[in-house]
Amino acid sequence: MKKHLLPILIVIAISAIFPICIDKLVLGSNYPSNVNNEVWMSFLGGYLGAIIGAIITLIVMYISINNSNKQLDKTLLAEKEKEIKNIKREFCGYIIKEYAIYNSNMTKAFNSAVSYINTSGVSEYHFMVNSFIACESVYIELVLQLQVNSQYAEIDKLIKDLQIINKRYDVFKTIMIDIDTLKKLKEKDFIKWFENENLAILNDVMNLRKMVKQFVKTNLKQDY
């Protein structure tokens, strides 16, 4: 409002000064004219009124357009913020979903490993291998999406923790798939090794769950 006050004051000042100038310079002038002062008064009154009206119209139009532009900018900014929020929610929802799938596949892989250890059956072995492959596939896709969306808060830590877990899991998977290694391990204290690895990886998965929750909480909290 303060920015528009000066033009308004200028118009008011001109409106006040202009009649005085007309009276002194035109009506009170000795300069010869073909019309009398009444005609000049009528003409100058209409002329001045038209000018003032045009100026006021321009000022009103300027203020109106300026306010409209500001409102449009606010609307566009609000829409952009809303879009960003929706993208964040969708991405966080995707991470939660993929983590759940990753966790589920890892559980299946462990269960299939236990089943194979107990039975040493061919079908159990193939099921275990397929479970490992499914888990690895989800891991690769999950890490890829995290790396692509590196602008999110705490995403580097989430990637690092996920890679640490997968590294331990990868060693476990490699040993479980290698039948010759399994035979050698069975001759030693295999069950103890398996239980320790199982507990360690499951503990890592629980920690990852906490990290995922913290990641989602941090990024969605930034919207408010």
Q: What is the pLDDT of residues 26-41, one digit of tens each?
A: 666 666 666 676 777 7
Q: Alpha helix locations (H) across the chain?
A: 2-22, 37-119, 122-148, 155-177, 179-187, 190-221
Measured CA to CA in angstroms, residue 65 lies from 9, 69, 107, 206 at distances of: 20, 6, 62, 57
> How remote is the C-alpha of 204 from its chain's centroid?
29
- Report the C-alpha gap between 224 and 218 in whole angstroms: 11
Least confident window among 11-20, 87-96, 132-141, 151-160: 11-20
pLDDT in tens, 139-149: 888 888 888 88
Radius of gyration of the chain from Cα atoms? 40
Amino acid identity at 190:
F
- Report the C-alpha gap between 31 and 90 in whole angstroms: 81
pLDDT in tens, 166-216: 777 777 777 777 766 666 655 556 677 777 777 777 777 777 788 888 888
DSSP annotation of 109 reads: H
pLDDT at 58 over 80: yes
pLDDT score at 224: 40
- Taking residue 8's Cβ as centre, other Cβ atoms within 10 Å add up to 14
- Report the C-alpha gap between 167 and 182 in whole angstroms: 19
CATH number belonging to domain 81-220 = 1.20.120
Delimit the domains of the chain by residue range: 81-220
Contact by Cβ (8 Å): 103, 205: yes
pLDDT in tens, 125-138: 788 888 888 888 88
- Report the C-alpha gap between 44 and 196 in whole angstroms: 102
What pTM was estimated for this model as a whole? 0.58
